[in-house]
Chains A and B, each alone.
Chain A
């Protein structure tokens, strides 16, 4: 069975004053293309970037990313 890492970035962006992908990218220190890829589930971030994104939203890592089997 293949394990998958999903995320709630899109939902969290909208819950945070409809933050744009560009804003999130700038705050997390990555490109907008990476945020797009993350939201589409095409890319799994490094632990460092995952923590940065969670910090931008002010939530725990597990609230942004989820490990599913």
Chain B
């Protein structure tokens, strides 16, 4: 299967999934979306395996790496800034803002914890850090 065919099939699978989910939501059939989503993921994985061309290479990983780093940095900075601003407003007589401020600040903290652990994991996996 060519990559082009795979992309068309992926598009069709997503369309069917969206249609099914829309029907399920409109008619209140709660059991449809989860199996439909699982089926869609399975169908995409199976069709992906049939593609013989090289679809992803090192450049894609470099792009993903840089994009995720930028997204992480921008997201963390924006969330921290907004969180701190909301916290300041909360202390300035707007107590109803506190849950939003806390949610943002704790999310940033959580993000950094995940970042630290993933850095440690990859440092170990990729070597370095200990002189021999």
B-contacting residues of A (Cβ < 8 Å)? 25-26, 29-31, 33-34, 37, 43, 45-46, 48-49
Contact = CB atoms under 8 A, between A and B. Distances in A.
B89 to A, nearest CB: 45
Interface of B: 53-60, 62
27 contacts: A25-B54, A26-B53, A26-B54, A29-B54, A29-B57, A30-B54, A30-B57, A30-B58, A30-B59, A31-B54, A31-B55, A31-B56, A31-B57, A31-B59, A31-B60, A33-B59, A34-B57, A34-B58, A34-B59, A37-B59, A43-B59, A43-B62, A45-B58, A46-B58, A48-B58, A49-B57, A49-B58
B100 to A, nearest CB: 42
Contacts of A45: 58
A24 to B, nearest CB: 11
A3 to B, nearest CB: 18
B81 to A, nearest CB: 33
Given A26-B53, A33-B59, A46-B58, 5 more contacts: A26-B54, A30-B59, A34-B58, A34-B59, A49-B58
Nearest to B61: A46
